[in-house]
């Protein structure tokens, strides 16, 4: 039987649903909306395996903050009602036959990336449900990303249109322009258009900083910022070697009767 693993970026889904609720204290209502969304996803995707991956609520900013101290420093904390109600939402997922994976020491993004690559590299089909474009660096014939809220695929044509680079160049791109939502600065003075132009010409950050024919208007901005750019690239790069501690059989999807 062919494998189709659907991975839910749980907090990406839940926080967006919760933010749209008229009563932020109505966690039961948010759980119902999340479950309706999951039912639609299940109907469309027909998964053989499924898991919802959560960030640990009390997790610190981890190794990325050691590289870039500003990483996620200014993010708003999770609303208290939602934090207190996460167990109820996890229980609702469980009642649907969807297991939850809770990160411990590693960000959910890295756990999702590790799981996706592990299954995708063995010819299993993987669909990641998230609006987070950071997962697009994983794009592969066996790994795809679905934005449930916009009802669109974050695929290669989308990336080329959105960023004017290849999916394989995204971490280089973010190393140059940064990621404002995560407090990652990138190289001062380098914007999206310049970054895509440089990467179209030189391919990677490493090749860019090794080049000797960079136009003066760009060289001036890049000068002295190689270490910063490479740190930002490292922060943007998803880890794919997390020890998960379970096997695929553990997350086989058995719809609740």
- Residue numbers in the known binding site for K(+) are 176, 187, 190
Q: In whole angstroms, what is the distance from residue 252 CA to residue 49 CA?
A: 4
User: What values do phi and psi take at 19, rounded to 5?
Assistant: -65, -25
Task: Enumerate the known binding-site residues.
Answer: 109, 176, 187, 190
C-beta separation of 175 from 229 below 8 A: yes
Of 249, 156, 137, give the one whose Cα is nearest residue 204.
137
Q: Where are the alpha helices (DSSP H) in 144-211?
A: 156-163, 170-177, 192-202, 205-210
User: What values do phi and psi take at 143, rounded to 5?
Assistant: -130, 125
Of 139, 182, 136, 140, give the one whose Cα is nearest residue 163.
136
Of 105, 114, 12, give the one whose Cα is nearest residue 61.
105
Q: Which strands form 125-129's sheet, in the order they lie side by side?
A: 99-102, 49-54, 4-9, 125-129, 143-147, 152-153
Structure tokens, 95: 């009642």
Task: Enumerate the known binding-site residues for Mg(2+).
Answer: 109
């Amino acid at each position: 039987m062919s494998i189709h693993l659907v991975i839910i970026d749980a907090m990406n889904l839940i926080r967006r649903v919760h933010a749209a609720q008229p009563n932020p204290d109505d966690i039961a209502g948010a759980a119902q909306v999340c479950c309706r969304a999951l039912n639609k996803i299940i109907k469309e995707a027909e998964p053989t395996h499924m898991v919802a991956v959560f960030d640990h609520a009390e997790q610190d900013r981890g190794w990325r903050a050691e590289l870039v101290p500003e990483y996620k420093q200014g993010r708003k904390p999770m609303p208290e009602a939602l934090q207190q109600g996460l167990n109820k939402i996890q229980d609702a997922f469980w009642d649907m036959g969807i297991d939850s994976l809770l990160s411990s020491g590693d960000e959910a993004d890295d756990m999702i990336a590790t799981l996706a690559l592990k299954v995708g590299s063995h010819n299993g089909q993987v669909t990641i449900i998230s609006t987070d474009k950071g997962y697009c660096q994983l794009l592969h014939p066996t790994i795809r990303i679905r934005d449930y809220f916009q009802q669109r695929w974050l695929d290669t044509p989308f990336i080329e249109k959105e960023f004017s680079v290849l999916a394989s160049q995204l971490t280089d791109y973010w190393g140059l322009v940064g990621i404002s939502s995560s407090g990652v600065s990138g190289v001062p003075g380098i914007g999206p258009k310049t970054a895509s132009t440089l990467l179209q010409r030189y391919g990677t950050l490493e090749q860019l900083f090794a080049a000797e024919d960079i136009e003066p208007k760009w060289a001036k901005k890049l000068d002295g910022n190689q270490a910063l750019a490479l740190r930002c690239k490292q922060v943007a790069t998803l880890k794919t070697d997390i020890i998960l501690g379970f096997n695929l059989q553990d997350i086989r999807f058995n719809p609740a009767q």
